[in-house]
Structure 1
Amino acid sequence: MEPQPNRATSTSSPHTPPDISAEPDVSRQASTASRRKTRLPRPAKRAPRSFLGWLGHFLGLLGMPLQLLALGLLGLAVFISVTLPDLPDVESLRTVQFQEPLRVFSADGALISEFGIERRRPVAIGEIPPLVVNAFLATEDSRFFEHGGVDTVGMGRALISYLTTGEKAQGGSTISMQVTRNFFLSPEKTFQRKLMEVLLTLHVEQALTKDEILELYLNQIFFGHRAYGISAAASLYYDKRLDELTEAEAAMLAGIPKAPSTNNPVTNPARALERRDYILGRMRELGYIDTNRYEIALNAPDTALLQRRQPELDAGFIAEMVRSEMLRFYGEDAISQGYRVTTTVESWLQTAAQDSLRLSLSQYDRRHGYRGPEAVVNLAGMSEERMDEYLATVVRIPELEPGLVTGVTSAGAEIYLGQGQRVTLDAGRLSWARTQRNLARWNGPRRKSSGAVLAGDLIRLRRAKKGGWELSQIPRVGGALVSIAPRDGAVRALVGGYSFNETKFNRAVDMRRQPGSSFKPFIYAAALDKGWTPASLLKDQAVKIPGNERWNPKNADHKELGPIRMRKALALSRNLASINLLQSVGIEEAQTYLRRFGFDLEALPLGLSMALGTGELSPVKLAEGYAVFANGGYHVIPYFIARVEDGNGRIVFEANPPQACADCWYRTGTATASTQGLQPSNPAEQAIDPRIAYQMTSLLREVVEHGTGTRAKKLNREDIVGKTGTTNDVRDSWFAGYQANFVTIAWMGFDDFGKLGRGEEGGKAALGMWIDFMRKALKDQPLATLEPPPGLVQVRVDPNRGTETKSKSGILEMVREENRLMLLGPEPIKVAGPATRKPTTTVKRSAPRVMDDLF
């Protein structure tokens, strides 16, 4: 047998694997090992692995799924370690301030207005009935009291539902997570934000109780139509308190927050009912209601309507004044921090002021004729729905209903008022309409009743006193009325125009107009302070100013009466007598005295025309001045905010205005007037001598008894006084007057300084407004009397010469003791006997033309 070749030495194909069963050639291996020892260097010592090296080695030992899981856990740990220090402080939820509107109320609690984007009424969890709580738990988080903020069971159920149906029918967010998201996070949907939401939710659950979390949630969620929180929603949709809600109503409200527009019972009632019924079913499944209550609720109709609380008092100008002041003192947050402002305005007086102003402006407007329609609409082919849409765009003005004339006959006109309502105006209700009268005439040419309005006219209707409707129009003339309490300046009523909806311009506060002769009393008071008396004679004659021949002021009747007692001069509002008096007193001395009434001297002219009221004042500023006369000589500053409370009901401001003496001025019988009481803790500054205040009240009473304000006598009260004021060409009509408890200023005029027309002086246009208001304000009020203060003496005076007399024909005057022997004042004007001088007349003209022909 031939010997087999040695396999270890055989040559084989490079692709033939070696025969591992053959024995090794020991000698060859040893030789090879020997060669390696001599040819290869010794390996260096291995360096220790880094963290990433060990992490890579560790991951290398794991399979792919475990590797991904480990990386995810690692990333989560890193995210938590980096994010945790920057998370917001969840303790801030304990002191969260919900956005609430700024609410303005009258002194007697009537709602005037609400300002703010959000409607909200936060309530404590204890005030929320279990029925309401259960309705929200049934739809939002039935395991709320079981989980720790993140409900893994609920999330798993939502995931399975999504994988099964392909629709997101169930949510995985708990109520705690929604609170976290609403208060701390943005609405973006990212993985990072979701992780932060989970972390924050766990912190919230540790920091707050379940009840605290639920309270935050139910007060924060949005219900549509600017309503936030369950209490505001119950009021908005059902006009109910939370404890008055039924099962059906609670379930309906619980279904809104998920989709406030889609599930809204007002804008989408069908979808809202579907959502309500689903929640009722969940409430039955969870045992919150039994089958009987479920069936009743399921069959209940949808009664949700927008029940917005309307203002209870029409005082838009006061409301805007409050809003402006709150922004000035508390910044932009004042509108959303739930402040509650109580004003000094009294509901019944504010209503009386608003009604009186509107009536006066409407009467003036009617006296001057119908101006025609506000607009003309082509009604051809227009349906009632289209007419409704058009009328909805027309500005709403109180007491003036807009309507479209749809037909006219000889018997009258048919008017469409909207929503299917049609009325007919007979010819008698249209007969007053005529072209705007010429200012120099009382009546313009009358139209036929059938021609007063035409088809397509947009007109205004007013409820007639005897029932039915009558043609009217929005007054173009402006007006203002303000009434303050003379003791402390509290604004009791204020109206800055016919309607705040029509114009926001507040004529009572922001307007500056010439007060005309209503300013004269302050000049007369300055003269009394300088030594003149009510008996002093004044020169009612032309004034000559050297170097100023162009200024030629005249009296309203263009007559000169010569020497005239101060009392009569003021009652008849003699311009020339007032100018001569100011010239005698001295302009600078008079200005210094006028400062005591709170007037800004920069608003007053530095010249003799100041006696005629050519400065510029607002009605409320004029009221401030007259209050000094009305309260016995004290300067009080008008104010309108009595108290401010924050969102938690804490008083943050309470007015403590300077007050006049309460028991030393007007009296009613044996008691003081309504301002009686203790001496004020914050006394007002004594601006003028109380004796002068008494004398001025007496002089202003003469205006009512025998002067330009005699129309006020129809009130049949002896305790009212005042002064008329009319500016050049009858562009402004004023009446400023007072009683023990009211200082009231009435004004009428055009915003563009247009002429009011002849016969519309302060003794008619403005005084009519003043009388109408004071009639209501003084109803059932006892008559107030004014006793002379110490230091006054009674003197019988010759009515023609102003000197003391014993004749029974003399009149009684109260003068200061120091003036007892100087009745004619520092610059006495003497007459030899009874005034026989005939009045100097000038050429009559249709209307005054010079700047200072003021009444």
Structure 2
Amino acid sequence: MKIKKTQNSWLKKAFKWLTITGFCGAGAAIGIGLVVFSVVYYQLPPIDALTQYRPKVPLRIYTADGDLIGEFGEERRDYVPFEEIPRHVKLAILAAEDDGFYEHSGIELTGFIRAALANIITGRRGQGGSTITMQVARNFFLSSERSYTRKLYEVALAFKIEQNLSKDKIFEVYANQIFLGHRSYGFGSASKTYFGKDLRDLSISEAAVLAGLPVAPSAYNPLVNMRRATMRRNYVLGRMFNLGYIDEITYASAIAQPIEVRQTTAEQQKTQLQTQELHAGYIAELARMLMVPYFKDTIYDQGINVYTTIRSRDQLIASNTVRQNMIEYDRRYGYRGVEGYADLSHEETREANIRMALSKVISSSNLLPGVVTELTPKRMTVQLYDGETVQLDDKGFAFAQRFIAKKGQTLKGRYKEKELKVGAVVRVTQDRKGKWSLGQIPAVESAFISANFNTGAIYSLVGGFDFKINQFNHVTQAWRQPGSSFKPFIYSAALDKGFTPATVINDAPLSIDPRLTGGKLWEPRNDDRKYDGPMTLADAIARSKNLVSIRIVQAIDPYYAQQFVSRFGFDPKNHPPLLTMALGVGSVTPWEMVTGYSVFANGGYLVQPYLIEKVTDSQGNVLMQAHNAKVGDGAPRTLDARNAYVMHSLLHGVAVRGTGRRAGNALKREDMGVKTGTTNDALDAWFAGYAGEITAVGWMGYDQPKSLGANAYGAGLVLPVWVDYMKNVLKDAPEYYRPQPADVVEINGQPFYADQVGDTVQTLGLGESTTPGEVDPITETIRDQIF
């Protein structure tokens, strides 16, 4: 018994010693921990980025009616204040990330301890036990490195954040800052990225999909892996049910709903016709460039909103008709060959090779890249990037027969190099009836611009076929020869020199002295190589007679003509004072041309086109507002009202009986005036004019100038685009009224300056003077002598 007592005594002493040691050790550990934590805490950076939170919101470009057409910035974000985040979205986030958020003080101890034990047992740092506050700390101030030191700083920051911000503010910062995949930051942006709707319009199922993303956006992204996204959504919905956030009926209904993300539109995208897109890339980029000088580097993350003058419907019509016109023109000249090849010889790498080949090809609306997987004389099968296949019958690829080798034959030269065969990378397009055919990106380029001629507001701007493929904006950057579309500005100068619509001018062959052309004899001719002898100035512009225009420039002096065109906004230095000015061999852009024709349309005022209506900050406060000089409100008069009125009469004549009569017959409007334009060797084709309150100019040509074809004219290539646009946007629009100036009189249906009726240039190039009454017999006599 004595021995036993001694043993018990020893055990008690040992236990006491261990207890004291344990408490001392724990105390020391706690003390050391507090000291370390204190040191870390006081080394923390200021959290001004949170207390004065200003999320990075990209620059956004809108149409006048509010359609988003461009976004520039590294982070796509739609800031949503806490009170505007729907309750079911908040609950989904809490269920998925931190259901104790409103109870703990920055750290959820049980979760933290559970994660720490899991890391110790597994030997990996896989679990973090992070609360929403800790995630905010990490996202703003720390790297993604997984280490115990970083975790300590994360905990310390979480405490500091909780001391300085309310719970609601922390949640708001988290909900707007967290990365959710596809360049989307915050739930507001992700809602639009994945579902194409505002956050307030999300269903509970959709909210659960987004709430499941923060843990691993790449793994649970519904655009990348629908199976994983569905599993993660179901987990979040289960958490919401178990926590009592939703009832059993709501849970069952949400679980049963399929995830219909915005780009399940894989099918919609595949069959989407070009009529559904604005093709406003050129507009967005131009607006961005115009804003950079004002906002510098801050432009991409301050939430600046730029509202343009573009009208969505106008842009939709213009872009669609321009693209379709280019496709039809390009198709007439045949197929140019495939864009590459994918190796389909090995089944195990077949799908990967197809995706690799297609990833190198830029897609364009309704010209989708694919790989030929089957080709027979009667059928072609093409696999698209998403794995779907489309079928083409023999009519669908008939225009590419030169690139298909017949059985037992081998192609040669360029046909062999771009042979259409199994494995070829091609493009397919679908018509409105759902039928697929072979397509290609047009080699030709085009431009179109329309604007209100009284205000200068640009309603549509198409800088080319597709901004993703060619960023060169042909409206603002393409300096091209205007050809005959420049003649109205020469005729306007002639009116100021005493010419009238009734002036008779000889359309006869002309030889220009080599001393006036730099040493080479110049014998210009009309486009149709025909000469019709004496005709009135009104008939000459309607029929676009080159020889008449040259005689006019001779008469009024090229230097005078050069200075006169500045009244329409043209830079004289781009139009050398030579007789060739009569044929439009200077340099203009479509932007300049719409400015010039607007002067005729609005009665003589120089109104500059403008694209930006207003600029606001992220809160909607107006930072900049357009104050463009308009007709009657600051725009300078640069052309006599009577000159503008007479020119309208002449340009209307072009639409009624001249080279633009197809436009006149289509629109049947008295307020329209037009002019065609084709340069030498058909390098450029133009159609310009106005109707209603709109001036519109279209152009077509190759970037590396070459002929558009032997019989290519502006009236055939560009007129249809102009007409299609005007017919649609002016449907039911009233005609624009142009009052006749008091100093203009009408004689035999032709307008004259009242003070020049008896003192005008009556003939040119006939060899003698005539009076209006003598025109007809003289015309007949001279025509008989010439022809």
Using the size of structure 2 for normalisation, the TM-score is 0.81
Question: Which amino acid in 1 is paired with 2:604?
Answer: G
Q: CA 1:168/1:499 → structure 2, altered by over 3 Å: closer, same or farther?
A: closer
Q: Structure 1 residue 567 and structure 2 residue 557: aligned?
A: no
Q: Name the structure 1 match of 2:662.
A: 711
Q: CA 1:252/1:297 → structure 2, altered by over 3 Å: closer, same or farther?
A: farther
Q: Name the structure 2 match of 1:423.
A: 391
Question: Which amino acid in 2 is paired with 1:296?
Answer: A
Q: Name the structure 1 match of 2:513.
A: 544
Q: Name the structure 2 match of 1:30.
A: none
- Tell me, what secondary structure is at the counterpart of 1:576? helix
CA contact (8 A) 2:514 2:520 kept: no
Alignment partner of 2:738 out of 786, 798, 806: 786
Percent same amino acid among aligned pairs? 39
1-side partners of 2:718 and 2:359: how far apart? 34
- Tell me, what secondary structure is at the counterpart of 1:786? coil
Note the C-alpha offset of 1:519.
0.8
Q: Name the structure 2 match of 1:510.
A: 477
2-side partners of 1:840 and 1:464: how far apart? 57
- Tell me, what secondary structure is at the counterpart of 2:783? coil
Unaligned runs of 5+ in 2: 1-23, 270-275, 404-418
Note the C-alpha offset of 1:498.
2.4
1-side partners of 2:630 and 2:120: how far apart? 76
Unaligned runs of 5+ in 1: 1-62, 437-451, 662-681, 796-810, 843-855
Cα deviation digits, residues 758-781 of structure 1 (max 9, x gap): 211223222233233333333333
1-side partners of 2:494 and 2:644: how far apart? 12
Pairing 1:180-191 to 2, within 5 Å after superposition: 180-188=137-145
CA contact (8 A) 1:542 1:576 kept: no
Using the size of structure 1 for normalisation, the TM-score is 0.75
Alignment partner of 2:452 out of 482, 485, 489: 485
Q: Name the structure 2 match of 1:54.
A: none
Question: Which amino acid in 1 is paired with 2:547?
Answer: L
Alignment partner of 2:83 out of 123, 126, 133: 126
1-side partners of 2:257 and 2:435: how far apart? 37
Q: Name the structure 1 match of 2:185.
A: 228
CA contact (8 A) 2:373 2:383 kept: no
Alignment partner of 1:407 out of 375, 380, 384: 375
Q: Name the structure 2 match of 1:335.
A: 300
Q: CA 1:285/1:432 → structure 2, altered by over 3 Å: closer, same or farther?
A: closer
Alignment partner of 2:46 out of 75, 88, 93: 88
Q: Structure 1 residue 820 and structure 2 residue 764: aligned?
A: no
Q: Name the structure 2 match of 1:303.
A: 259
Q: Name the structure 2 match of 1:45.
A: none
Question: Which amino acid in 1 is paired with 2:614?
Answer: R
Note the C-alpha offset of 1:639.
1.6
Q: Name the structure 1 match of 2:11.
A: none
- Tell me, what secondary structure is at the counterpart of 1:580? helix
Pairing 1:143-542 to 2, within 5 Å after superposition: 143-150=100-107, 155-156=112-113, 158-159=115-116, 162=119, 171-188=128-145, 197=154, 200-239=157-196, 242=199, 249-264=206-221, 267=224, 283=240, 286-289=243-246, 292=248, 296=252, 300=256, 303=259, 305=261, 307=263, 313-374=278-339, 385=351, 389=355, 390-391=357-358, 393-402=360-369, 404=372, 406-409=374-377, 412-418=378-384, 419-426=387-394, 459-463=426-430, 468-538=435-505, 540=507, 541-542=510-511
2-side partners of 1:207 and 1:281: how far apart? 33
CA contact (8 A) 1:559 1:839 kept: no
Q: Name the structure 2 match of 1:440.
A: none
Note the C-alpha offset of 1:535.
2.6
Q: CA 1:122/1:629 → structure 2, altered by over 3 Å: closer, same or farther?
A: same
1-side partners of 2:126 and 2:147: how far apart? 20
Q: CA 1:813/1:200 → structure 2, altered by over 3 Å: closer, same or farther?
A: same
Question: Which amino acid in 1 is paired with 2:782?
Answer: R
Question: Which amino acid in 2 is paired with 1:598?
Answer: G
Note the C-alpha offset of 1:733.
1.2
Q: CA 1:767/1:826 → structure 2, altered by over 3 Å: closer, same or farther?
A: same
Q: CA 1:464/1:210 → structure 2, altered by over 3 Å: closer, same or farther?
A: closer
CA contact (8 A) 2:561 2:577 kept: no
Q: CA 1:405/1:707 → structure 2, altered by over 3 Å: closer, same or farther?
A: farther
Cα deviation digits, residues 800-842 of structure 1 (max 9, x gap): xxxxxxxxxxx43212222122122799974454222138889
2-side partners of 1:406 and 1:492: how far apart? 45
Question: Which amino acid in 1 is paired with 2:613?
Answer: A
- Tell me, what secondary structure is at the counterpart of 1:695? helix
2-side partners of 1:555 and 1:840: how far apart? 19
Q: Name the structure 2 match of 1:653.
A: 624
Q: CA 1:617/1:149 → structure 2, altered by over 3 Å: closer, same or farther?
A: same
Note the C-alpha offset of 1:408.
3.0
Note the C-alpha offset of 1:221.
1.2
- Tell me, what secondary structure is at the counterpart of 1:579? helix
- Tell me, what secondary structure is at the counterpart of 2:714? coil
Q: CA 1:459/1:130 → structure 2, altered by over 3 Å: closer, same or farther?
A: closer
2-side partners of 1:308 and 1:302: how far apart? 11
2-side partners of 1:71 and 1:395: how far apart? 60
Note the C-alpha offset of 1:789.
1.7
Q: CA 1:434/1:524 → structure 2, altered by over 3 Å: closer, same or farther?
A: farther
Q: Structure 1 residue 111 and structure 2 residue 74: aligned?
A: no
1-side partners of 2:743 and 2:444: how far apart? 47
CA contact (8 A) 1:405 1:453 kept: no
Question: Which amino acid in 2 is paired with 1:552?
Answer: W
Q: Structure 1 residue 99 and structure 2 residue 56: aligned?
A: yes
Note the C-alpha offset of 1:532.
2.7
Q: Structure 1 residue 642 and structure 2 residue 613: aligned?
A: yes
Note the C-alpha offset of 1:634.
0.8
CA contact (8 A) 2:512 2:522 kept: yes
Q: Which has the larger radius of gyration?
A: 1
- Tell me, what secondary structure is at the counterpart of 2:695? strand
2-side partners of 1:594 and 1:650: how far apart? 41
Q: Name the structure 2 match of 1:555.
A: 525
Note the C-alpha offset of 1:487.
1.0
Cα deviation digits, residues 570-606 of structure 1 (max 9, x gap): 2232323323322332333323322121112222223
Question: Which amino acid in 2 is paired with 1:353?
Answer: A
CA contact (8 A) 2:511 2:521 kept: no
Is 215-224 or 760-769 further displaced after alignment?
Answer: 760-769
Q: CA 1:434/1:618 → structure 2, altered by over 3 Å: closer, same or farther?
A: farther
2-side partners of 1:433 and 1:67: how far apart? 84
1-side partners of 2:41 and 2:337: how far apart? 75
Note the C-alpha offset of 1:632.
0.7
- Tell me, what secondary structure is at the counterpart of 1:838? helix
- Tell me, what secondary structure is at the counterpart of 1:837? helix
Is 170-179 or 71-80 further displaced after alignment?
Answer: 71-80
- Tell me, what secondary structure is at the counterpart of 2:761? coil
- Tell me, what secondary structure is at the counterpart of 1:536? strand
Q: CA 1:794/1:221 → structure 2, altered by over 3 Å: closer, same or farther?
A: same
Cα deviation digits, residues 232-262 of structure 1 (max 9, x gap): 3344445565456565554443332123334
Pairing 1:761-780 to 2, within 5 Å after superposition: 761-780=713-732
- Tell me, what secondary structure is at the counterpart of 2:102? coil
Question: Which amino acid in 2 is paired with 1:493?
Answer: S
Q: Name the structure 1 match of 2:415.
A: none
Note the C-alpha offset of 1:166.
5.6
**Structure with greater proportional helix content:** 2
Q: Name the structure 2 match of 1:693.
A: 644
CA contact (8 A) 1:633 1:687 kept: yes
Is 540-549 or 172-181 further displaced after alignment?
Answer: 540-549
- Tell me, what secondary structure is at the counterpart of 2:180? coil
